[in-house]
Amino acid sequence: MSTRRPDLDDLEVLALVARTGSIGQAAQVLRLSQPSVSRRMLALERRLGVTVLHRTTQGTTLTAHGRLVVDWAGDLLGAADRFARSVATLRAEGDLAVRAAVSMTIAEHYAPAWLARLHASAPELEVSLVVANSAEVERLVRTGAAELGFVEVPSVPDGLCRQRVGEDRLVVAVAPGHPWATRTTPVSAAELAAGGVLVREAGSGTRVTLEEALGSEGHELQPGLVMASNSGLTHAAMAGMGPVALSERALEAHLRLDELRAVPLDHLALVRPLTAVWLSDSPLPDAAARLLAAAGAGVR
C-alpha cells in the first residue's frame, strides 16, 4: 500500500474541481490552462493510487472514492491553514521581541540610552536583556540563547558578525590616601602590573582590556581583589584596598567628588571598542536589527 503523501496544493485543486463541477471551471478560477489542471489531477490519482474523478463529455464528477478523499482533504487543508496562521502569529511575535545579552559595563552605562532610543522609535518592541561578562555574552550568542550580544573586549573571536557601536575608556583610580594619588609622574606598566589592581573576574571585557594592554608592554597582571561587581570594586578602592581599573563611566561620579583620584599612566592605552555580535550564519531578526540600530546611533 502506498504511503506517499499528496501535495496540499493538488488537494486544493481537487476540492475546487469538486465545487465548480469541472476541470475547465477550476482552471479558469486558478487562471491556469485546462490541460495543466488535468495533468495535476492525473498525477494526484497516481500518487494516491485511487481514481477520484469520473471524466465525461458533460463534465467531471467525483467518484465514490473521490468524495471520501475530498472530505478528508477538507480536514487536512483546514489543519494546514491553522498551522500556517499559527506560524505567522509566532513569526509576528518574534518580530516584536528580541533577546539580547550585554556585558556589565554596557548594561549599567550604555544600554539604558539605547533602550530609550529604541522605545521612542518602536514602543511595541519587547527587549529581554541578560547581563553577563563578555565571555559569557559570546557563549550565549553562539548557543542561540541570545540573538544579539554587546561586548567590550579589544578583539572579537572569529565566527561572529560584528559592528562597532561605540568605545569606552578604562581609568585606573585610587583613594586619596593611596601613594599614587599625589604622584606627579605617570605610573609605568610594570608598576601597574605589580600594583595589586582590583579587577573584574576573568572573562570580563574590563579585565581582558587591562591584561592585553599590559601584555603588549611585556608585563603580566598580578591582580589584587577580584570581584564580578563594578560597584563592589569601586567601594573597595574607596576603602583603600588598592587601585581599581574600571570604565570611566563607572568612576566619573566618584572622581568628581574626589572620593577617588585618576592615576596618570605611562603610555598605556586603555580604550576598548563596544561591539555588537551575532551569529554569522543566521540573518539578524528585525527586532534585533532595530536594537542594533538604536545602539549604533550612539556611536561617538
Q: Is the separation of the CB atoms in 151 and 277 below 8 Å?
A: yes
What gap in Å lies between CA 51 and CA 48, rounded to an integer?
8
Instruction: Show the cell assigned to 229.
Output: 561587581
- Looking up cell 585618576 gives 262
What gap in Å lies between CA 153 and CA 209, rounded to an integer?
6
Task: Kindly calculate the radius of gyration of the chain based on its CA atoms and give it in whole angstroms.
Answer: 33
Q: Please, what are the domains in the chain?
A: 8-93 (1.10.10.10), 97-296 (3.40.190.290)
Kindly report the number of other CB atoms within 10 A of residue 162's CB atom.
Answer: 16
Q: Phi and psi of 258, rounded to 5°? A: 60, 25
> pLDDT tens string for the chain (300 positions)?
445 678 888 899 989 888 888 888 888 888 889 899 889 989 889 888 889 888 877 777 888 998 899 888 888 888 877 777 666 554 544 556 889 999 999 999 999 999 999 989 888 888 888 999 999 999 999 998 999 999 998 887 778 899 999 999 999 999 999 999 998 899 999 999 999 999 999 989 999 999 999 999 999 999 999 998 899 999 999 999 999 999 999 999 999 999 999 999 998 889 999 999 999 877 888 889 999 999 986 444
- Looking up cell 582590583 gives 198
What gap in Å lies between CA 200 and CA 251, rounded to an integer?
14
Instruction: Show the cell assigned to 4.
Output: 506517499
- Looking up cell 513569526 gives 91
Three-state secondary structure call for residue 202: coil
Instruction: Show the cell assigned to 292.
Output: 542594533
Q: CA separation (Å) from 214 to 103, 189, 286?
A: 22, 6, 40
What gap in Å lies between CA 287 and CA 292, rounded to an integer?
9
